Amino acid sequence: MQSVACPTCGAEVSFRSPALPVRVCDYCRTLVVRYSQSAQAMGEAAVLPFDISPIQIGTEGHCFDQSFQIIGRVRWGWTDGAWNEWLMLLADGSHAWLGEAMGQFMALREVELGGSQARVLRRLMNGTNVLPGESGTIAGHNYEVADIRTIHCLGCEGELPFTAPSGWEALSVDFRNADGRCASFQKDAHGPTLYVGHYVTLTALEPRHLRPLPGWSLPVYAG
Amino acid sequence: MPAEDSSVRTLSCPACGGTIAMRAAGYTVTLACEYCGTLIDATDPDARIITRYQEMQASLAIPLGTRGTLRGVEWEAIGWLQRSDGWAIWDEYLLFNPYAGYRWLIAQNGQWSLGLMLTVMPRRDGGDQIYKGRRFNSFYSGNTARVNRVAGEFYWRVKIGEEVRASDYVRPGHMLSLEQDDRETSWTISEFLTGREIRAAFDVDPPPGWLPGMTPLAHQPSPYARRLKSWWPVAALAVVALLLLLSLFGRTMQPQSFGFQVTPDGPSISQTFGPIVLPLGRQAMTVETLTSNVEQGWVDIDVSFVNRKTQDSYDAYALNEHYSGRDSDGYWSEGSRSQTLKVASLPAGTYDLVVDAQAHHWGSSGNWAWDSSSSTYRTEGLPPVDVSLSVARGARFASNFWLAVLLILVPPVLMLVLHIMFDNARLAQKDGATADGDDWLRGLETP
């Protein structure tokens, strides 16, 4: 763990993952970007609106055959809703995302967008319109487009692999298949990224340190 | 309410000013005011009005905010939709638990189903869909489902009049539904809930039982399929019990045999045999009388079971006869040399069998001679007639057995008929072909 002083308020900002350059200051919500040993303020992250997610920073569990800890979150919104992308720091030092939308969870890892790609992905990269139901092969599996939406960053907290300025917009396309696998394609001004993974249930993550929610009893498996 | 103490957030309705509770903050996009029915945009910090909707549902079967435990998870009803597709109108309640996500409670014709949005897509096979190795038959396709009324919270922007294309695939007890619009496709599996389950969870009115003439839900399991299946062990048990009774009362005693001789046209012979012990009351006895060598004559046989204690007598009578000859048509014969007598309902006790038999001869082919010992004429040269009796406990009234078997079979046959009526009514709503034997059998499968 590495700690730096927040360039804005001076509070101690600690980085749990050596690979992640961005951290939101817990006190003043400054986006702190780390360059080797020095830190730089990159503007302020929006205050996250109240939500009733069962996950919080510090939630631990098991995913991708190893243990993980939640260290960051980006909240995305679109015209008709919002969802969370929780950043998992895995035991091997790599990171992955836990997408949380409509009470369902997706465990996703970034894959390289190189070499030959499915036609549906190439069309997305070229900015051509695609429709739900179109299919294509991604990383060896056949998927179908489940939904397509333009999204914007609502806010973030904790550690992140990128700066997440407010107003940041992207195109997001979700894929699903018959085995419970899922994929997510995102494209913003900096270029496209692709994530693949699978749907998980909260139970299957064997979570600990879930967020206690007043009025609701924690599930027995989380005890 | 301080923010830290509750998972519920409150806001003021921009239309009526009432305080509305938001139970799934962060997920909820649309909120319908519980007082005036106005649809509110929950993503907007200023709570913008989407639609004013004055006609408010007065009494929902499950008031929003009600909690109930279904399948071990506590759920809170947070939203309500009324939808229709031109044929049917149904209600959908959105259930929420922050640790378990969302479920749907779907109510139609007073019957309830629990719906779960799928993350795994079913696999298409011909016109059917395969989900988790189970086949779902195409039932409705391409219907348009429309939102008529709405209240509470939703994770998407519900609009009155919002339409999706819906297709349904069915196996008894379950329905797989595909809903599509231009931006999204989603699959939901709904499971038919028993009346007991839904009542225990949310205290709703009991679902009505099916009667001929009513239209069941597409995925409603036939109530007769379960009863029919649970009837078979009962029927099998009844048949076993029947066979047991039959063997107990019918065939446990070894038949006892007695025999004597009577001289044709001679004196009546009276013989007493016994004892015959009947340990159980209300027994039937069978007596077989056989006169194997009676010829051109007959034997009158009177049989009496006489109770040694009470001297009560239970009587039966047999006439064994046999005649034969030769005429222009050739050889002929008539009469029967054996009879089976049944004496029903003898009380328990020890009995003697008293038999009186007298043989007669037809015609005069014998020689008549004076017998000084008996002071009567007797025919000579005619052999004595052997009379043998065989006494068995329990008349095997086989007809009674078959009648009982038939009675045991009446309920399952009736249930089968009702099951076929139910499935015909259910499948009459299906797109395409009418129901046949395959469909009825499929309706019997375990949900």
Q: Which stretch of A71-75, B33-37, B120-124, B136-140 has the lowest confidence by average pLDDT?
A: B33-37
**B52: helix, strand or coil:** coil
- CA-CA distance, B348 to B308, in Å (whole number)? 11
Mean pLDDT over B439-444 rounds to 74
Contact present, A95 and A19 (Cβ < 8 Å): yes
pLDDT at position B2, please? 42
Nearest to A100 by CA among A159, A59, A142: A59
Average pLDDT of chain B, as a whole number: 82
pLDDT at position B370, please? 66
Mean pLDDT over A159-171 rounds to 83
In chain A, what residues touch B8 (CB-CB under 8 Å)?
215
Nearest to B355 by CA among B256, B266, B268: B268
- CA-CA distance, B54 to A191, in Å (whole number)? 47
For B330, residues 6+ apart whose C-beta sits below 8 A from its C-beta are none
Nearest to B280 by CA among B353, B342, B345: B345
Q: What share of chain B is helix, strand, coil (3-state, %, to 5)?
A: 15, 45, 35
Q: Which stretch of B119-123, B268-272, B361-365 has the lowest confidence by average pLDDT?
A: B361-365
In this prediction the ipTM stands at 0.85
Contact present, A52 and A58 (Cβ < 8 Å): no
Percentage of chain A beyond pLDDT 90 is 37
Written as one string, the DSSP assignment of A164-205 is: --TT-EEEEEEEE-TTSEEEEEEEETTEEEEEEEEEE-TGGG
A interface test, pick of B99, B130, B188 with most A CB neighbours within 10 Å: B99
Q: Which tens digits make up the pLDDT trace of A58-109?
A: 999 999 999 999 999 999 988 878 899 999 999 999 999 999 988 899 999 9
CB distance A102–B9 less than 8 Å?
no
Q: Which amino acid is at B288?
A: E
pLDDT at position B1, please? 39
pLDDT confidence band for A186 (50 / 70 / 90): very high
Mean pLDDT over A212-217 rounds to 88
Q: Which stretch of B287-291, B358-362, B436-440 has the lowest confidence by average pLDDT?
A: B436-440
pLDDT at residue B354 tops 60: yes
pLDDT at residue B281 tops 80: no
Q: Which stretch of A1-10, A78-87, B70-79, B158-167 has the lowest confidence by average pLDDT?
A: A1-10
In chain B, which among 89-108 make CB contacts under 8 A with chain A? Answer: 96-102
pLDDT at position B3, please? 45
Q: What angle do CA A59, A166, A155 make, to 5 degrees?
A: 20
Q: Which stretch of B178-182, B336-340, B440-444 has the lowest confidence by average pLDDT?
A: B440-444
- CA-CA distance, A169 to A146, in Å (whole number)? 20
In chain A, what residues touch B102 (CB-CB under 8 Å)?
102-103
- For helices B398-427 and B437-444, the axis angle rounded to 10 degrees is 100
Residues B222, B122, A174, A121, Cα dihedral to 10° = -160
End-to-end, the C-alpha distance of chain A in Å comes to 28
Q: Which tens digits make up the pLDDT trace of B367-422?
A: 566 667 777 666 566 778 889 988 887 655 566 778 888 888 888 888 888 888 88
CB distance B117–A80 less than 8 Å?
no
pLDDT at residue A22 tops 60: yes
CB distance B96–A180 less than 8 Å?
no
Residues of A with CB under 8 A from a CB of B: 49-54, 77, 79-82, 84, 102-104, 131-133, 144, 146-149, 176-180, 182, 199, 202, 210, 213-219, 222
